[in-house]
Amino acid sequence: MLKYICRRLLHMIPVVIIMSICIFGIMKMAPGDGVGYNLSPKATPEQKVAERKRLGYDRPVYEQYLRWVGRTVQGDLGDSSIYKQPVSRIIRPFIWNSFKLNVVCFLFSYLISIPLGIICAVKQYSKWDNFWSVFSTFGISMPGFFFALLLIYLFSVKIPLFPINGMQTPGLNASGMTAALDQLNHMVLPAIVIVIGGLAGLLRYTRTSMLEVIKQDYIRTARSKGLKEKVVIYKHAFRNALIPIITMIGFEIPALFSGFVILETIFLWPGIGKILMDAIYRRDYNLVMALNLFFATLTLLGNLLADIGYAAVDPRIKVE
Amino acid sequence: MGKNLIEVKGLKTYFYTKKGVIKAVDGVDFAIQSGKTLGIVGESGCGKSITSMSIMGLVPAPHGKIEGGEIFFEDRDLLKLSEEEMRKIRGNDISMIFQEPMTSLNPVFTIGDQITEVLILHQKLDKAQATKKAMDMLTLVGIARAEKIVKEYPHQLSGGMRQRVMIAMALSCMPKLLIADEPTTALDVTIQAQILELMNGLKERLDTAIMLITHDLGVIAEMADHVVVMYAGKVVEDASVEELFENPKHPYTLGLLNSKPNMSVEKDRLENIPGVVPNPIQLPEGCYFHPRCKYATDKCRQAQPELKEYTSGHKVSCFMVHKEV
Amino acid sequence: MKIEIKKPTLSALQEDKEAVIGPWKMIWIRLRENKMALTGLIIMGVIIFISVFAPFLTPYDPYQYDFGITFQAPSMKHWLGTDEMGRDYLTRILYGGRISMQVGLFSVTVAIGLGALIGGISGYYGGWIDNILMRVGEVISSLPFMPFAITISAVLGARVKEEHKLYLIMIIIGTLSWPGLARLIRGQILSLREQEFMQAATALGISDRKKIVKHLLPNTYGYLIVNATLGMAGAIMSESALSFLGLGVAPPVPTWGNLILYARDMYTLMYRPWLWVPPGICIFLAVLSINLIGDALRDAVDPKSNR
């Protein structure tokens, strides 16, 4: 197993290199000369040249890239022009906020959709199955941001059940339980969007994988052993259906971040998605670059986890 | 004549599809005595496998349904048992091996897990006892290094090995009846012979009755004590193996025998049965075989012959044989 | 004498063993028997109709402003009211559909072109070419789509004229979505390559290019069409999301995505739902119909699939 993980890690190296070149390349195309964050608008041309030199922008591109890589590896991501602070220091609370909302909700939608998908597959073409099939087709087709707006309109404006946006009630000077409840209250609407969005796709995927597995010969064998139908489905069939589901999780992680950006912007949830948008609108390119790097790293980690999970459930992988 | 272990009477299993009702098994009768082998022969699509699934109580719902008949197993009608009672019989008193050894074992569990599962379930053994028993069974089916194989996964074994594992698994609870659905079709010829020999040997040692489904008359000749020939969901001939090979009566049986190469009789070419198995939704009027039968008369086109005794222990369903035309 | 002509149904055709039906006809017949697909086709038909004939369906010009009638509520004269510049909102939605569908279509064309090309080369030549191409594809598919699309759009968008942003978006969406397709086509070609008819082609001395274009790619058309359809749903969705964030197609060119942008104004969100609900519903219906058609197509192309 350890060998397998090492091999996957080695396999990731070229991916990481290509990815870092992509990110660096994109940022190099940004308009402006890259200076001016730390200078006053009245800076003289000489000062600008000096600043460019200080930042190394007069060197050849490959050298800039290598320097950037060197600094990044050491954890130096440059300063944010919005916050006038090192990027590495300011993104931490935002990551935590995103994690609280998105990741937890996403895991939650897995916990619901996988059993639902299994039941739908077992009862294929039943009313229950048809209902959830229609539900997931609708869910997949619903743009998340529009759904979010509808929820705000219905449950914050028309029927004021939940706050429109934000993470806590402004001016609320509470702590402990009250503060936690207040935050939970702010989470409800975005959570619904995330859970339903995740549910629709996963439900469908689980169902398809299960249907594929259920018609396999070894399921018939399991039944012929006299096993209970529950054991046949949840042990013999599900263990096999889990293989494609785990692969799917690997691919779903990038999709998860897409959700971060839009939903956090709509709900003004102070997470990494929202500061990415702030950074983009206000041209804080060091922050943009750092965030993209963060997203990319998380995605790669997700893929690695999926690979490991894959190897854990599928014995055929190890011998390769 | 010994006592019948299992007796199938007038079994009818239908499938309901959008295009119509498929009478996959339509009034099948046969019996198997303890410790004997019954061969069921017929072309693919004649209802052999569905018959075995009906006995196991595993007709795929919701499309398939057993519409009539009785299956007496040790004086109990299996069709009247609850799912719970049926589960206790499945894998325990009656077990089954399938045609595709490559796909019949679950790829994500070890061989040991898959064999011990049945033992723990039916024989209430604990994990250690079950593992020991599993290794004994593997040794019994001729697998060397059983203690190594129990820890391996199906993909690490060859087709012949997997079929041995399937047999070990099926026999681990000492079933009274083993249903083998084309157990050797997917295997190489040399492996086929080994597996058949193994089954024959085990049958004698464990006194298990075997219901052997095949389209290969050579396998039947080697293995069976008694033979049932099926065509389009019906039994057309039922005889002891000697009788069937020496004195085949039904034109379909004759056709099957003639289409098989025979070393002792010199023939210029093999004959084949013209035409194909009829579409199960639009079965022909009269005898289902008449469109392919060179002896067919007007009566065959209108009425369905019954399965009747021709000589003692030899039943045929054909107007011509019974001289009724 | 009256001759009755019966439409062939799948079951009828299967029973009639003599009838030989080509794969395309088979797909069409399967599609026609699927109610969901039919619903999808009808919705899609309506959307295409209103997009194509928008100029004939409305008396207004989508860019003609009139500051005398800004932010009017729906009325007989302006069915969905007017926007902040007094333009007829329904007209903007009709024309917005045109742009949204165009962006979807062109993005998918870009993705398919790249996917088929790269997948074809990769699968056919194998070896190090395959290795490099697939690694690049892996990188692109593991990039989180939205953050990268946003970043690229913001960075490059600043260098592109507003009216050309439309094309930028198409290219961004297209270039970020080819790897899945490329992988699929590569896999298909790898398995097809081993088959006898390709060896026969080699034996006949047919050139590589001709082999790929004439013999291998046609075998992947089924998968291509399914993916193109589902990809188009994704592209429309992505365009609307980017436009909604203000990083997609820029006003005054209307698209369904940037029309919803009105909802980011709190007052409009709360009190003028007619300014953001209709384009949202349009996106939903368009994506839904494409998904329905795509699913049915998948079932039709691959009868073994389960849905």
Which pLDDT value is given to residue A320? 47
Whether the per-residue pLDDT at B74 is higher than 60: the answer is yes
Q: What angle do CA B218, B142, B210 make, to 5 degrees?
A: 45
Residues C78-114: tens digit of each pLDDT = 777 777 777 888 888 888 888 889 889 999 999 989 9
Of the candidates A208, A255, A277, the beta carbon closest to that of C245 is on A277
Using CA atoms, how far residue C123 sits from C128, C189, C219, C227, in Å, is 11, 6, 13, 18
User: How far is C40 from chain B, CA to nearest CA, in Å?
Assistant: 24
Distance from CA of A131 to the nearest CA of C (A): 13
- Compare all CA atoms of chain A with the CA of B178 and give the residue at the minimum distance: A224
- Which residues make Cβ contacts (< 8 Å) with residue C170, sequence separation at least 6? C103, C106, C107, C110
The token duo for B38 is 């019954």
Q: Which residue of B has its CA nearest to C14?
A: B19
> pLDDT by residue (tens digit) across A35-89?
555 555 666 777 777 777 776 777 788 888 888 888 888 888 888 878 888 888 8
C18 touches B at CB < 8 Å: no
Strand-pair category, B226-231 with B37-41: parallel
- State how far the alpha carbon of B7 is from the alpha carbons of B3, B41, B73, B88, B237, in Å: 10, 18, 7, 19, 16
C119 vs B40: CA distance, rounded Å: 50
Residue B153: closest CA among chain A residues belongs to which residue?
A315
Average pLDDT in chain B: 87
Residue in B with minimal Cα distance to C15: B279
CA C38 to chain centre: 18
The size of the A-C interface in CB pairs under 8 A is 142
Q: What is the distance between the alpha carbons of residues A46 and A51, in angstroms, rounded to a whole number?
A: 9
Of A153, A296, A300, the CB nearest to C273: A153
Facing residue for C241 by CB, picked from A27, A262, A296: A262
- Residue C13's pLDDT is 45
Residue of B17, B18, B19, B22 to mutate, testing the C interface (most C Cβ within 10 Å of its Cβ) = B19
Chains that touch B (3 or more CB pairs under 8 A): A, C
* Cβ atoms of A206 and A118 closer than 8 Å: yes
Is the ipTM here above 0.95?
no
The Cα–Cα gap between A290 and A276 comes to: 9
pLDDT at C58: 80
Is C270 in Cβ contact with A153 (below 8 Å)?
yes
Q: What is the mean pLDDT of chain A?
A: 84
Q: Which residues of B touch C11 (CB under 8 A)?
A: 18-19
Q: For residue A227, what pLDDT is reported?
A: 92
* C9 at interface of B, judged by CB pairs closer than 8 A: no
SS3 assignment, position C85: coil
| Topology of domain C43-50+97-301, CATH | MetI-like fold (1.10.3720)
Rounded alpha-carbon distances, angstroms, from residue C1 to A215, A240, C4, C6, C8? 51, 61, 10, 16, 21
Q: How far apart are the C-alpha atoms of B264 and A36, rounded to whole Å?
A: 100
Shortest Cα distance, chain B CAs vs residue C185, angstroms:
27
Q: What is the DSSP letter of B71?
A: E
Instruction: Report residue C297 as tokens.
Output: 């197509």
Residue of chain A whose Cα is closest to the Cα of C155: A30
Neighbouring chains to C with at least 3 Cβ pairs closer than 8 Å: A, B
Hey, where are the domains in chain A? 2-73, 92-313
Average pLDDT of the residues in A280-287 = 86
pLDDT digits (tens, 9 = 90+) for C248-306: 888 888 889 888 888 888 888 888 888 889 999 999 999 999 999 888 888 777 655 44
Structure tokens at C221: 């058309």
Q: Which residues pair with B22 in a beta bridge?
A: B15
The per-residue pLDDT for A41 is: 60
From B209, B83, B96, B220, select the one nearest B163 (Cα to Cα).
B96
Determine, for residues B118 and A217 on separate chains, whether the beta-carbon distance falls below 8 Å.
no
Q: Does A227 touch chain B (CB under 8 A)?
A: yes
Among B185, B241, B181, residue whose Cα is nearest residue B212: B181
CB atoms within 10 A of CB A219: 18
The verdict on A223 touching B (C-beta cutoff 8 Å) is yes
Give me the pLDDT at residue C7, please.
45
Report in angstroms the alpha-carbon separations of C259 from A262, A301, C238: 16, 37, 14
Residues of C in contact with A15 (CB under 8 A): 135, 138-139, 142
Half-sphere exposure of C38 (CA within 13 A, CB side): 6
A137 touches chain C (CB under 8 A): yes
Strands (E), A131-287: none
Determine contact, residues C218/C202, Cβ cutoff 8 Å: no
Q: How confident is the model at residue C228 (pLDDT cuts 50, 70, 90)?
A: confident
Q: In whole angstroms, what separates CA B7 from the centre of its chain?
A: 14
pLDDT > 60? residue C142: yes
From the list A30, A133, A291, the residue facing C147 with the nearest CB is A291
Phi-psi region of B271 (alpha: psi -120 to 50; beta: other; left: phi over 0): beta
> Was domain A92-313 assigned CATH 1.20.120.430?
no
Which of B94, B106, B120 has the highest number of chain A CBs within 10 A, making it the mutation to test binding with A? B106
End-to-end CA distance of chain B: 33
> Does residue A319 have a pLDDT over 60?
no
Buried b (16+ CB within 10 A) or exposed e, C20-35: eeeeeeebebbbbebe
Q: Are B155 and A318 in contact (CB under 8 A)?
A: no
* CA–CA dist C22, C24 (Å, integer): 6
Q: What are the tokens at C47? A: 């959307």
- Does the CA dihedral C51-C54-C58-C61 come out positive or negative? positive
pTM of structure = 0.83
**Would the CB atoms of B91 and A226 count as touching at under 8 Å?**
yes
Helix (H, G, I), strand (E, B), or coil: what is residue A259? helix
> Locate tokens 């009313």: which residue?
A127
C143–A31: do the CB atoms touch at under 8 Å? no
**Pairwise CB contact (< 8 Å): B106 & A222:** yes
Cβ neighbours, 10 Å, residue B274: 10
- Distance in Å from the first CA to the final CA of chain C: 44
Out of B89, B104, B153, the one facing A221 most closely (by C-beta) is B104
Q: B86-138: per-residue pLDDT in tens?
A: 999 999 999 999 888 888 999 999 999 999 999 999 999 999 999 999 999 99
Task: Report how far residue C163's alpha carbon sits from residue C259's, in angstroms, rounded to the nearest whole number.
Answer: 16
Confidence of residue C5 (pLDDT cuts 50, 70, 90): very low
Kindly state whether C11 is in contact with chain B, defined as any CB-CB distance less than 8 angstroms: yes
Token pair 């030549």: residue: C125
Q: Give me the residues of A, 185-204, that contact C with CB < 8 A.
A: 204
* Beta carbons of A221 and B166 less than 8 Å apart: yes
C42: left (phi over 0), alpha (psi -120 to 50) or beta: alpha
DSSP-assigned beta bridge partners for residue B210: B37, B178
Structure tokens at B180: 């083998």
**CB contact residues (below 8 A), chain A span 296-315, against chain C:** 296, 298-300, 303
Q: Tokens 């854990």 correspond to what residue?
A: A312
Cα gap B132→B135, rounded to integer Å:
5
Task: Tell me if the bond preceding B291 is cis, omega within 30° of 0.
Answer: no
Helix (H, G, I), strand (E, B) or coil at B7: strand
Q: Please say whether the beta carbons of A19 and C143 come within 8 A.
A: yes
Tell whether A127 is within 8 A of chain B (Cβ): no
Q: Identify the band that residue B271 occupies on the pLDDT scale cut at 50, 70 and 90.
A: low
Instruction: Tell me the β-bridge partners of B96.
Output: B179
| Phi and psi torsions of C78, nearest 5° | -120, 100
Q: Closest CB to A29: pick one of C139, C156, C264.
A: C156
pLDDT in tens, C164-217: 888 889 999 998 888 888 888 888 777 777 777 777 777 777 777 777 677 767
* Angle at alpha carbon of residue A143, lines to A142 and A148, rounded to 5°: 100
Q: List the single residue in A with minimal CA-CA distance to B179.
A: A224
* DSSP string computed for A69-130: HHHHHTT---EETTTTEEHHHHHHHHHHHHIIIIIHHHHHHHHHHHHHHHHHHHTTTSHHHH
Say whether A225 and B121 touch across the interface (CB within 8 A).
Answer: yes
Give pLDDT, residue C12: 46
Q: Which residues of C touch B18 (CB under 8 A)?
A: 11
Chain C residues closer than 8 Å to B276 by CB: none
For C142, the closest of A211, A254, A261 (CB atoms) is A254
